[in-house]
């Protein structure tokens, strides 16, 4: 009798363990969204440990999610032996502009928490606010996350722009590090469209984690660059990594340049509606850090490859990261400052915000700064992020926030009455 009781107890334990493992194994997690190909679309992505259906239930009434949409699921193993290997993606369509939607995701009968997002407003006559940062690690990023959670929950922002370097790294620990990072990101990225650019820390396994974990509205043949419109601005995400990794040899530089030329030409024809052109890529063209990064030298390959094109196209603002510090530049082209103010700039304004926090710490700026450097900050243990607001056709606000107390350490207004090529 005692043996039967022990056997029964063992069976119960096995069943309980199986049910618990099964529930957690296929339970959706790491939910995040991004803008689709049209303003009326939204990508929704998540991960599970097992294969299953990909469904999003959504609606404008949180107590009555009247719509459902199915998508695709694929197995992701390259550089991800220990991570959750099934990625799900659903493209929601025909969403109403400027409207709040409630949603949850579901796989194999297991549902996520209930989330909320707001679609972008229609047209160009509104003032979108965007959170901007780069270089956020799983560990160091925990210092910025509480402030960013508050920002995301405030309802003030339309999107996030993450300018490269995620998790440090997404592929570390066989992908487990990337999973944990995406879990921590969920309170932000499930609410605000999370728009990205790739950095050097995404290069592992030929950028496979970046390509699989994120979906951007790529209007090209490559997931490494894309553009999108919001309010009175045209945003361009470009890759600085094409200049540094053999993965791009023979195609990356030429294909991106061709696409950029075409995209910028199209943006020129649309400047009456969307006058601001805002580009973002990971590695800066200029910086005054003490390391030997590409931006510290007059022979910068990123600057040689892109600066003249952006100048001739009249790109207004360039958002960058990579350096674990904050630096604001005067309008500059070819190492020449065009003015020590931001009233009708005659060259792009570079904003370097790579202080979201990572295990590598900050990058010192003890040496003399270049003539193009208007403001810089690198204090140890000080982390932060940027706030960008495209107020109207002539005014853009920028502020750099210190995490924790969420105070501003720097802010400017960029005023441009004559958008167009600078030359």
* pLDDT over 70 (residue 72): yes
Say how many Å lie between the first and final Cα of the chain, rounded. 92
pLDDT digits (tens, 9 = 90+) for 264-277: 999 999 999 999 99
pLDDT digits (tens, 9 = 90+) for 18-55: 333 333 445 899 999 999 999 999 999 999 999 999 99
Domain ranges across the chain: 27-118, 129-415
Mean pLDDT of the chain: 92
In DSSP terms, which residues pair with 115 in a beta bridge?
103
**What value does the mean pLDDT take over residues 340-364?**
93
| CB 402 within 8 Å of CB 380 | no
Say if residue 36 is exposed, middle or buried (CB neighbours under 10 Å; 0-12, 13-18, 19+). Answer: buried
Q: Which class would CATH give 27-118?
A: mainly beta
* pLDDT over 60 (residue 237): yes
Please enumerate in sequence order all residues whose Cβ is within 8 A of that of 397, keeping only pairs 6 or more positions apart, or say none.
387, 388, 389, 391, 411, 412, 413, 414
* Of the candidates 129, 136, 115, the residue with the CA atom closest to the CA atom of residue 160: 129
* 394, HSE (Cβ side, Cα atoms, 13 Å): 4
* Of the candidates 194, 280, 285, the residue with the CA atom closest to the CA atom of residue 236: 280
Tokens at 60, concatenated: 């404008």
* Of the candidates 207, 39, 217, the residue with the CA atom closest to the CA atom of residue 121: 39
* pLDDT over 70 (residue 15): no
pLDDT of residue 366: 74
The whole-angstrom distance between residue 268's C-alpha and the CA centroid of its chain comes to 25
Q: What is the largest CA-CA distance in the chain?
A: 92
Domain boundaries 129-415, corresponding CATH code = 3.60.21.10
Answering whether pTM is above 0.75, one says yes
| CB 327 within 8 Å of CB 398 | no
Between CA 217 and CA 219 the distance in angstroms is 6
Between CA 329 and CA 320 the distance in angstroms is 11
Hey, CA dihedral for 28, 30, 31, 34, is it positive or negative? negative
| CB 365 within 8 Å of CB 327 | yes
Phi-psi region of 73 (alpha: psi -120 to 50; beta: other; left: phi over 0): beta
């Amino acid at each position: 009798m005692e043996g039967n009781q022990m056997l029964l107890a063992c069976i119960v334990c096995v069943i309980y363990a199986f049910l618990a493992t099964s529930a957690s194994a296929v339970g959706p997690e790491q939910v995040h969204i991004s803008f689709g190909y049209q303003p009326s679309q939204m990508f929704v992505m998540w991960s599970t440990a097992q294969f299953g259906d990909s469904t999003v239930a959504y609606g404008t009434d949180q107590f009555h999610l009247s719509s459902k949409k199915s998508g695709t699921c694929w197995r992701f193993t390259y550089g991800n032996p220990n991570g959750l290997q099934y990625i799900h993606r659903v493209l929601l369509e025909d969403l109403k502009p400027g409207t709040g939607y409630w949603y949850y995701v579901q796989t194999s009968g297991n549902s996520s928490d209930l989330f909320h997002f707001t679609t972008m407003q229609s047209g160009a006559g509104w003032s979108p606010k965007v959170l901007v940062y780069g270089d956020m690690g799983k560990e160091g990023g925990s210092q910025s996350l509480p402030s960013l959670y508050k920002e995301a929950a405030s309802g003030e922002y339309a999107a996030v722009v993450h300018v490269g370097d995620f998790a440090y790294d997404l592929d570390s620990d066989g992908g487990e590090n990337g999973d944990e990072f995406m879990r921590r990101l969920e309170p932000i990225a499930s609410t605000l469209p999370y728009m990205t650019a790739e950095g050097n820390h995404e290069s592992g396994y030929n950028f496979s984690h970046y390509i699989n974990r994120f979906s951007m509205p790529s209007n090209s043949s490559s997931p490494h660059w894309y553009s999108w419109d919001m309010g009175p601005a045209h945003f361009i995400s470009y890759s600085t990594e094409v200049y540094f990794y053999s993965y791009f040899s023979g195609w990356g530089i030429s294909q991106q340049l061709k696409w950029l030329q075409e995209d910028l030409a199209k943006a020129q024809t649309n400047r009456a509606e969307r006058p601001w052109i805002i580009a973002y890529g990971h590695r800066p063209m200029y910086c005054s850090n003490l390391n030997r990064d590409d931006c510290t030298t007059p022979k910068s390959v990123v600057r040689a490859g892109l600066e003249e094109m952006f100048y001739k196209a009249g790109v207004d603002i360039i958002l960058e990261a990579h350096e674990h510090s904050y630096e604001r530049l005067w309008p500059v082209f070819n190492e020449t400052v065009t003015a020590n103010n931001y009233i009708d700039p005659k060259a792009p304004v570079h904003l370097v915000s790579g202080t979201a926090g990572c295990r590598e710490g900050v990058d010192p700026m003890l040496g003399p700064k270049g003539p193009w450097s208007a403001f810089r900050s690198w204090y140890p243990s000080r982390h932060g992020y940027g706030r960008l607001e495209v107020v109207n056709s002539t005014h853009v606000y920028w502020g750099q926030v210190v995490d924790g107390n969420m105070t501003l350490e720097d802010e400017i207004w960029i005023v441009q009455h004559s958008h167009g090529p600078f030359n």
